Structure 1
Amino acid sequence: MALPSVMVLPLLIVVAAGLYYIYNEVMQFMSKSLVRNKVMVITDAVSGVGTECAHLFHKGGARLILCGTSWDKLESLYNYLTDDADPRELVILDFSDMGMEDVVAEVLECYGCVDVLICNSSMKLKSPVQSVSLELDRNVMDINYFGPSTLAKGVLPTMISRRSGHIVLINSIQGRLAVPFRSSYAASKHAVQAFFDCLRAEVEEYGIVVSTISHTFINASDSPLAEGPAPKPNILAAFITSQLIHGVSPSVLANEIMQTVNRKRKEVMLAHPIPRVALYLRFLLPSFLFAVLAAEVKDSVLDE
């Protein structure tokens, strides 16, 4: 007996939903199995994204080295992760009083090698150019550029000798598109993006994968974007800027990092359609984008 035509569409939807669910479950299982026993380093592991990554990779059976600048928070995370019936190998490393070279030495001493390095540390800054001191510029560059690049250089010799390894940079869309009042932050993100793009090409022959994940701002209660009174720019500028700073949740970003590690993706853009359009405008119609961003700055100044 043939099905009534009115039942075909709902049935197809149910079947498609079932297949999608099964696919997600299979991929989740494979994701966990692929990282099992891998030595993984996560910097700024006590941040929202770092903590989510630690949970995911620990459940997958990875041997983690969690780095941060607060021993109390690292210890709390350690206790949380190992509070189960089958605690896995886990090392915490407080590098608040250490130089990057010392951090690299400590990391390599833990297991003798690193399979995956996830560079997650970042310092955000929102301020007009003329208000940022040279010292603050240097601090931003130290954390956002020299930190990841030094760690990458430090683990490269062992990766090259083993002809295996994966380096992941958690960057920002501002490594490709600069927004007003974030000059130091955008400059550091552009610099580190360029470094890892060069690194990717140089180490491919050794079987080393370099991935960059560019996201919009991370949704968090202490978001720096909430500083000061909100200006009232013109409608178009307000819409584009709000979309450029529309964030992603730490859990969504952590899952994307997991997929990037498992599938060895080289470049990932985690952004809504408007930021993607803005990137195209930057290259195709730069004058238009510059005018929109300048209008936002002008209106914000007039409202102060």
Structure 2
Amino acid sequence: MALPFVVMLPLLIVVAAGVYYIYNEAMRFMSKSLVRNKVVVITDAVSGVGTECARLFHKGGARLILCGTNWDQLESLHDSLTVDADPRETFAPKLVILDFSDMDSMEDVVAEVLECYGCVDVLICNSSMKLKAPVQSVSLEMDRNIMDVNYFGPSALAKGVLPTMISRRSGHILLVNSIQGRLAVPFRSSYAASKHAAQAFFDCLRAEVEEYRIVVSTISHTFINACDPPAVKEPSPKPNALAAFIASQLTHGVRPSVLADEIMHTVNRKRKEVLLAHPIPRVALYLRSFCPPFLFAVLAAGVEDSVLSEQM
């Protein structure tokens, strides 16, 4: 006797959930083995996302080259990774001082990175400099600093390691970007401009190096939230309702561990573009393409009430 549909449906849901769980666990296990012995460069390795990435790739047996601006912090990260590690399964990370705000040093940095192992299999450009301010209050010097860190630095480093990747016809370059590389919001003019520039550069690079079997990936995320979600506050008098709702959808951001997991999956699956965002920012991206006047009106309302600008 056939089971009624009302009984079969929950069973199918449970089976599908079980298959999905097993698939994710299998991919998680495979992800660690796929990076074994790979030379992986991580910029701004001492940041929240960089540290989580370093832990994941180190456990997976990658040959890490950790870059940052502070030697003491790099050494502390090195010690935390190696203190309980099995030297038969993992490699001690190599450390390189890298400061994108000093573009004159980039040639020496590239040479030092390549001297570590002679090649780079995976380059993860994770560095970022943020700024929140009205356009009229941002100096040209600050604009240039942000462009150096967010655009010129990653692009220069990618250009530096590219010849070895081309000669080996293998490699993966990954840019940890921001959703503001595709969607600009008020009071982030310099930051959004640098992220737009980086997005465009790596999109062009992807097409140019595909013939050499080099993968170029971009991960666009909302803001990084390393803290617990903030407590709910009483709304200010007469806020713009739509702007307040959008802001409430953005308060949780993306946690560093979640972003690091996605970076690992992106490297292993060779995905070219990833968007890590809640539904509201995704909808905003579609509005930017298909109904920009409505989005512009919402953003302007958010500026007036100082709600949207505080949360993004």
2:156 aligned partner: 150
Letter in 2 for 1:65: I
CA RMSD of aligned residues (A): 2.4
Q: What TM-score do you get using the length of structure 1 for normalisation?
A: 0.90
1:296 aligned partner: 302
Q: Distance in 2 between matches of 1:193 and 1:245?
A: 24
Q: Distance in 2 between matches of 1:79 and 1:8?
A: 53
Q: 1:236 aligns with which of 224, 242, 245?
A: 242
2:46 aligned partner: 46
1:274 aligned partner: 280
Q: Distance in 2 between matches of 1:208 and 1:74?
A: 29
Aligned pairs for 1:167-246 within 5 A: 167-221=173-227, 233-243=239-249, 246=252
Deviations 1:16-64 (A, max 9, x none): 3432332122111111111110000000001111011111111111100
Unaligned regions of 5+ residues in structure 1, if any?
Answer: none
- Could you tell me whether the CA contact under 8 Å between 2:40 and 2:124 is conserved in 1? yes
The answer as to 2:23 corresponding to 1:23 is yes
- Could you tell me whether the CA contact under 8 Å between 2:129 and 2:149 is conserved in 1? yes
Deviations 1:83-116 (A, max 9, x none): 1251322111122477122111110000000000
Letter in 1 for 2:110: V
3-state secondary structure, aligned to 2:268: helix
2:59 aligned partner: 59
1:109 aligned partner: 115
Unaligned regions of 5+ residues in structure 2, if any?
Answer: 308-312
Letter in 2 for 1:295: A
3-state secondary structure, aligned to 1:261: helix
- State which drifts further: 89-98 or 76-85: 89-98
Q: Which runs of 4+ in 1 moved over 6 A?
A: 1-6
2:126 aligned partner: 120
* TM-aligned CA distance change 1:33 to 1:129, over 3 Å: same
* TM-aligned CA distance change 1:245 to 1:5, over 3 Å: closer
Instruction: State the percentage of identical aligned residues.
Output: 82
- Could you tell me whether the CA contact under 8 Å between 1:231 and 1:300 is conserved in 2? no
3-state secondary structure, aligned to 2:306: helix
1:35 aligned partner: 35
3-state secondary structure, aligned to 2:177: strand
CA deviation after TM superposition for structure 1 residue 9, in Å: 4.9
1:285 aligned partner: 291
Deviations 1:200-230 (A, max 9, x none): 011111111100000000102499x9xxxx9
CA deviation after TM superposition for structure 1 residue 8, in Å: 4.6
Q: Distance in 2 between matches of 1:45 and 1:180?
A: 29
- Could you tell me whether the CA contact under 8 Å between 1:231 and 1:299 is conserved in 2? no
CA deviation after TM superposition for structure 1 residue 4, in Å: 8.5
1:94 aligned partner: 97
3-state secondary structure, aligned to 2:299: helix
Deviations 1:151-194 (A, max 9, x none): 00000100000011000000000000000000000000000000
Q: What TM-score do you get using the length of structure 2 for normalisation?
A: 0.88
* TM-aligned CA distance change 1:137 to 1:203, over 3 Å: same
- Could you tell me whether the CA contact under 8 Å between 1:48 and 1:250 is conserved in 2? yes
Q: Distance in 1 between matches of 2:5 and 2:292?
A: 51
2:70 aligned partner: 70
